[in-house]
Amino acid sequence: MPLKNRKSLKHLNQDLILNNSDNPNIKDIIQKNISRRHFLQATTLASGLSLLPRFIFSKTLDNVQYMDRPKSLGFKSIPPAVEDTVNVPNGYTAKVLYSWGDPVGIKNQSPQFKKNAANSAREQALQAGMHHDGMDYFSLPMNTQSDSHALLAINHEYCDNGLLFPDGDNNWSLNKAKKAQNALGVSIIEIKKNSHQRWEVVRPSQYARRITAQTPVLLTGPAAGHRLMQTKQDNSGRMVLGTMQNCSNGKTPWGTYLTCEENWSDMFTNKTGRLSELEKRYGIKKKEKTYRWSEVDPRFETSNEPNEPNRFGWVVEIDPYNPNSTPKKHTALGRIKHESATVDIGNSQKVVVYTGDDEKFEYIYKLISKNNYQPQNRAANLKLLEEGTLYVAKFNDDNTGEWIPLVFGKSPLTPENGFKNQAEVLIKTRLAADKVGATKMDRPEWIAIDPKIRGSVYCTLTNNVLRGEQNKAGTDAANPRNNNIFGHIMHWQEDKHNPESLSFTWDIFAMGGLLNSTNTNWTTDIETVSFGSPDGLKFDHRGVMWVQTDVSTEILNQGPYNGVGNNQMFAVIPGSKEFKRFLTGPCGCEVTGIAFSPDNKAMFVNIQHPGETGEGISDPKAPRAVSSWPDAKTTGRPRSSTLIITKDDGGVIGS
């Protein structure tokens, strides 16, 4: 039976406050500066249903010349929708490419999805996992810009036991837990245009691969081998079994995929209830009734394996071109609930990786590599993320900011404060960021780099309904709204246009929801909104920003979200008033994951958890209660899927 009065599975920890430090809040900083902002009202959608949110053009953008960027978007904005389907503008076609349960394409091992999800754990390890999320496109052959042949790396974030098994989570067993573990991780699939110039999955494929929560993964960097990484199964502390809760992603210039472990703490319990400071800070609980792994698999019960949680919460690097390679968890990037790992190259050829910690009042980070990127030396580049300095962001109230190093021995990261070495700084990244005074943010999500302006970075802050509540952190300049239902998008410009810089200027690019038309005070009593909970974020090759939303099902089309419709994706041209809705998803879904072919004529988008009820685990007796997408009623289960979107005339997406 479905769980009542529960958050959706993806948002189990949305109302938890795990950061009780006294660090400044973005809201406090923003409120001091809001009167200095320049507001521009966007136009009303042709549908007349929703006003667009107001954009705040950053002072850091005021004098920028937007060179070599489209002047306008060549499609008509579509209206909000509540139908159980995918909608795109006239002149575009969206087709399903790869759904949960589809075979990956490993030679002689291609089990088909069974109508009632009766596939075995072994079969699930050879099929698409559940709940597609971040992804990226890798041209074939490697080191080319192919528009017709590629690999897609696709994350599978979490699982819903009500859909994954014919009888839901009844008759729970270790075999069921193993199937759930095989439903997470990453897919590597080969795709190619056929003789009719239509994209399809290549099966069999020499590249096809599934990486799951049971795949061996190598630890690298300062924390590898540390005593806090050692377990009964791995006394070396260097080889983890699996990656899971894979949310957003990144792509390196040397052609590897970065997958981010986000809500990994949901899988662990400590049945004794005697939680350590570290367990509390990362959200591990005494009981957990959603995934249930710890009931049958002792490595997820921390009273049995206290160090196992320390082996999750990392960025994992995968070489999609080598199906025999071992994925690597890079501890230099810190242990948090990673949302994105966006890569840039600095002026002196250092690699810079931006990442956010997706929970209320958590932080934004970046790594600067120790060694330089070498365009002609892929072997050396494959080790670049093993060493470097991790920084955390502080947003000052004068719209400047600084990157604070998280380095052992620099006060206050000393033994007196609970850090014995650099490994412990990285294993306890949240605690280290608390100590140095980083700015608490409204759930940092995806981070995107503007390809047309060097050092220009954007971050979605999806929401934070607890900001400003009694005994909770108040507003600051970077997080300016109490009860931030709708979220916002931040922008910062690295000093001297250098990604390696340790200082920056910042502003807010856009606020979700509507601005009261009579004044410049942000309000939360809004009846109609254009978008809220911005999440997925990516620039295409032309410099158009694409934003996706993740309003959780339990509040979608209720209260202040009444009339907004299903989750959506819209396009924005920075420096202009161009803001158009491009896609709406089926009922109960999140729109997430974006990738483009090099010629920008193919866009890949993921539809995650269609049919999410907002009440926890789905009812296996009524799996189509909210959605039957994409298969109508033929499979008995809604299925997360990857879409391929093309323009009917064969042109560039968005033109």
What does the DSSP assignment read for 521-570?
---S--S--S--SEEEEEE-TTS-EEEEE---TTTTTSGGGTT--S-EEE
**Sequence-separated (6 or more) residues with CB below 8 Å from residue 22:** none
Q: Side by side, which strands form the sheet with 641-647?
A: 92-99, 641-647, 602-608, 590-596
Residue 17 has a pLDDT of: 65
Q: Is residue 526 part of a domain?
A: yes
Residue type at position 295: E
Q: How many CB atoms lie within 10 A of CB 96?
A: 16
Give the pairing of strands 441-442 and 55-56: unpaired
Q: CA 470 to CA 653: how far, in whole Å? A: 47
Q: For CA atoms 627, 556, 362, 538, give the dihedral sign.
A: positive
What local confidence, expressed as pLDDT, does residue 25 receive?
58
> Which CB contacts under 8 angstroms, 24+ apart, belong to 35-42?
35/520, 37/507, 37/508, 37/520, 39/515, 39/520, 40/577, 41/515, 41/517, 42/577, 42/579
Domain count, the chain: 1
Strand partners of residue 372: 350
Apex 620 CA angle, 614 and 623, nearest 5: 60
CA dihedral of residues 553, 555, 556, 562 (deg, nearest 10): 160
Residues 547-577: tens digit of each pLDDT: 999 998 888 877 778 778 899 999 999 988 7
Residue 548, domain CATH: 2.120.10.30
User: Tokens representing 79?
Assistant: 């209206």
Residue 566 placed within a domain: yes
The model's pLDDT over 567-623, given as tens digits with 9 standing for 90+, comes to 999 999 998 878 899 999 999 999 999 999 999 999 999 999 999 998 889 999 999
pLDDT value, residue 555: 84
Q: Which of 312, 543, 537 is nearest to 444 (CA)?
A: 537
The sign one gets for the Cα dihedral 630, 634, 637, 639 is negative
Tell me if the bond preceding 412 is cis, omega within 30° of 0.
yes
How far apart are alpha carbons 40 and 217 in whole angstroms?
Answer: 49
Please report whether residue 641 resides in a domain. Answer: yes
pLDDT for res 514: 53
Asked if residue 87 belongs to a domain, the reply is yes
In a domain, 2, yes or no: no
Residues 368-402 as b or e (16 or more Cβ within 10 Å = b): bbebebeeeebeebbebbbebbbbbbbbbbebebb
Give the ranges where 398-539 is alpha helix by DSSP (H): 422-427, 429-436
The pLDDT value recorded for residue 33 is: 44
> 125 with 182: CB under 8 angstroms?
yes
Taking only Cα atoms into account, the Rg of the chain, rounded to an integer number of angstroms, comes to 23
Q: Is residue 653 part of a domain?
A: no
Range of the domain at 560: 9-647
Task: State the CB neighbour count (10 A cutoff) for residue 632.
Answer: 9
DSSP, res 253: T
Q: Is residue 344 part of a domain?
A: yes
Does a structural domain hold residue 3? no
Q: What distance separates the 2 farthest-apart alpha carbons in the chain?
A: 67
Separation CA 85–CA 585 (nearest Å): 6
Angle in degrees, CA 333, 262, 442, rounded to 5: 90
DSSP one-letter code for 106:
B
The segments of the chain whose pLDDT lies below 70 read 1-8, 11-17, 22, 24-67, 514-529
| H/E stretch holding 296 | helix 293-296
At position 449, the amino acid (one-letter code) is I
What gap in Å lies between CA 387 and CA 624, rounded to an integer?
Answer: 48
d(CA 199, CA 536) in angstroms, rounded, equals 23
Q: Is the pTM of this model over 0.85?
A: yes
